[in-house]
Amino acid sequence: MAHSKVILKILFSLCVWSFVIIGLFKMHGTNLVPQEYQQVPLNGRILLQKDMRYAETTSTTTDHFDPSEILVDNRTAMDDDQLVRDVESRIPSLPIAYWSKNKNFLQQKSSTCAKYPSIFELEFNNIYWQTLRTSNGTFQLFGAYYDIRRTSLLGPTVRILGMIDRIEPKVKTYCQFWFDGQKEPFIVKTFEYKYIWYNKWGNYKQGIYQPYLIACQIPKPFHGVVPSSVSMVEKECDTATNNLRVIYNRPPDDQKKGFAVCVKGLDFLYDDLSVRLIEWIEMLNILGADKIYFYNLQVHPNITKVLNHYEQEGKVQVIPLTLPGGQPNVPGFQHLYLTKKTNHKRQNEVIPYNDCLYKNLYLYDYIALLDIDEVIMPKGGSVLWSELMDKVRPESRKIKPDGFHSYNFRNVYFLDDQQHEHGWHKDIPKYMHMLQHVHRAKNYTKPNQYVKCFHDPERVLTLHNHFPLSCLGGVCKSYPVDTQDAQLQHYRADCVKTLKKSCEEYREHSVEDKTIWKYKDELIRRTIKALDTLGFFRRQGLNSASGSGGSSSGLGGGATTHSTER
């Protein structure tokens, strides 16, 4: 017992002396905790992952830093008018500006059964499409266009481009025309469904979305007046679930330009074709393309960079595109779908081709549908497309005085391995694919096979990749341009699948064709300038970009994109 009391007294004494010593240290400002472990406010600490210590960070309050130094988007919120303009630029087919200006007026009671549909009550599909559901089929509508061409027997007409999941649609429909200042629609029966496909090509089945051009005639009291928008309905009095702005593009001075080029939906999500695309765009600009219209599904970031650059320069326009209905639009999956479902792919391509035609009906003398591995190349004494057509058109009128609907060019392959067997040309940058590849198949593909055309937009009604499918004034007539005057140069790794047998012959019998070299110096200069502007060169490689065979090792992807080397 006595022993226990002694131990308790000793412990009590130690506690007392400990408190005395701690108090003395506090009075003299001494800290027993090592400096690196001292506690700091929670909002001023970061956890160091290496040694799990806390270290004090610099305060980020406005006492020490100006908030304007932070790189965020500090623009003020958009007002309604700005939002309307922004939406209109994203979805040109939506009559949002007209609706916004007239919504109070349009909501007033009218004596007719149909009312103007609110844009918030429309049924959209995959962003750019609007839907009409009927008792016999579903319509996915993409665009509406004002057609007053002299050669049209229908007179002033609105043509609606879309896809219907029916072959030979039987359902009766109506067009509700909405004119500026009118709160009631003028309703007419749909005149026709023009099929933009041939049965023999396949996919001729109910339930698969098929491309159509739908016509609705404008009534005589409104001839000379462009409808603000049009809706399609199954019954006259239905409130529409679609409403398309009627597009009517004319040049301000009513003077047409020469040539527009339309490019189907780009599907290059995993292929960085940016450098080849630059060479191709510059080549077409040299030849005389006034503008190139690209429809864009999914592309590599470097391609986006290139397209944005040329769009800012006014040389191209990029139109975003999706597939309608239940077709996939998820990146990667969409590419797989288009690769495996070839007929679906071809039918979907018809939509951007004809949208491009009808948006540019009155803006250009000629419209060409080209892929980015194709060039219509003048030969003989012609250098520009305009010079070529100045020669071809008078010759064609000797055969058909009233003119042809289109002018077609024979296809000839410039296959990759044909050039690789002959080596590289040292005075041309190696990355300039077309200038380097000057060996082609000796023989052209057969007449009217895989041709491409200059189309006369005043005379064609619907277009397919290779030729017009239907024309105004009767059966389509296409003039075959002599291969002495021009040819379609097609740069591919291999022939199309349907020409596998002929492809071996094309490979075995090749000739040198340096027609493109008459543009060599200018094309190299323009391409190098664009590549440099866009940051595709590694700095140390720029000086040698145009010499010593143009070693591709001088190319890089720029600081913000993937490498462009292939």
Top-ranked range on mean pLDDT: pick from 92-96, 414-418, 492-496: 92-96
Q: Are 192 and 215 in contact (CB under 8 A)?
A: yes
Comparing C-alpha atoms, which of 228, 230, 252, 253 is closest to residue 240?
230
The strand pairing partners of 462, in sequence order, are 470
- Confidence category of residue 393, pLDDT binned at 50, 70, 90: very high
> Given a cut of 60, is residue 53 above it in pLDDT?
no
CA distance 277 to 229: 37
Question: Under a CB-based contact definition with an 8 Å cutoff, are residues 365 and 290 in contact?
Answer: no
Q: Is 504 exposed, middle or buried (0-12, 13-18, 19+ CB in 10 A)?
A: exposed
Strand pairing category for 257-268 and 364-369: parallel
DSSP assignment letter at 353: H
Task: Kindly give, in sequence order, each residue whose CB lies less than 8 Å from that of residue 304, ignoring residues fewer than 6 positions away.
Answer: none
**pLDDT reported for residue 61:** 54
If one compares 505 and 43, the residue with the highest pLDDT of the two is 505
Structure tokens of 479? 């003039």
pLDDT of residue 33 exceeding 50, the answer is no
For 347-350, the CB contacts below 8 A with 24+ separation are 347/163, 347/197, 347/203, 347/208, 347/209, 347/210, 347/211, 348/211, 348/265, 348/323, 349/264, 349/265, 349/465, 350/196, 350/197, 350/211, 350/462, 350/463, 350/464
CA–CA dist 234, 189 (Å, integer): 10
pLDDT at 22: 62
Strand partners, 211: 163
pTM across the whole model: 0.84
Query: Across the chain, what does the average pLDDT equal?
Result: 87
* Structural contact between residues 343 and 202, judged by C-beta atoms closer than 8 angstroms: yes
Span 521-556, pLDDT tens digits = 999 999 999 999 999 998 764 455 555 444 443 565
Element (H, E) at 448: none
Q: In the 3-class helix/strand/coil scheme, how is 30-69 assigned residue by residue?
A: CCCCCHHHCCCCHHHEEECCCCCCEEECCCCCCCCCCHHH
Q: Name the residue among 187, 229, 224 with its Cα closest to residue 101.
A: 229
pLDDT, tens digit (0-9, with 9 covering 90-100), for 190-201: 999 999 999 999
Q: Residue 489: left if φ>0, alpha if ψ -120 to 50, beta else—which one?
A: beta
Domains with residue ranges and CATH for the chain? 84-247 (no CATH), 257-534 (3.90.550)
Does 189 have pLDDT greater than 60?
Answer: yes
* Residue matched to tokens 């009409």: 132
Looking at residue 218, what DSSP letter applies? Answer: P
State mean pLDDT over 459-477: 96
Residue 163 pLDDT greater than 70, yes or no: yes
Neighbours of 209 (CB within 10 A): 24
Q: pLDDT tens digit string along 225-259?
A: 999 999 999 999 999 999 999 999 999 888 999 99
Spatial separation of the C-alpha atoms in residues 422 and 401, rounded to whole Å? 46
Distance CA 297, CA 334 (A): 9
Rounded to a whole number of angstroms, the distance between the first and last alpha carbons of the chain is 92
pLDDT at 446: 94
Give 408's pLDDT tier (boundaries 50, 70, 90): very high
Task: Go through 399-437 and write b for each residue having 16 or more CB atoms within 10 A of its CB, e for each that does not.
Answer: eeeeebbbbbbbbbbbbeebbeeeeebeebbbbbbbbbb
* Closest C-alpha among 99, 140, 343 to residue 232: 140
**d(Cα 471, Cα 37) in Å, to the nearest integer?**
84
Minimum mean pLDDT range among 11-15, 69-73, 166-170? 11-15
What does the block give as tokens for 274? 């940016």
What percentage of the chain has pLDDT greater than the value 70?
Answer: 82
510-512/468-471 β-pairing? unpaired
Identity of residue 406: S
Give the Cα separation of 124 and 241 in Å (integer): 8
**CA 355-357-358 angle, 5° bins:** 70
For residue 43, pLDDT over 60 is answered with: no
Give the per-residue pLDDT at 497.
81
- d(CA 532, CA 284) in angstroms, rounded, equals 19
- And the tokens for 29? 């400002």
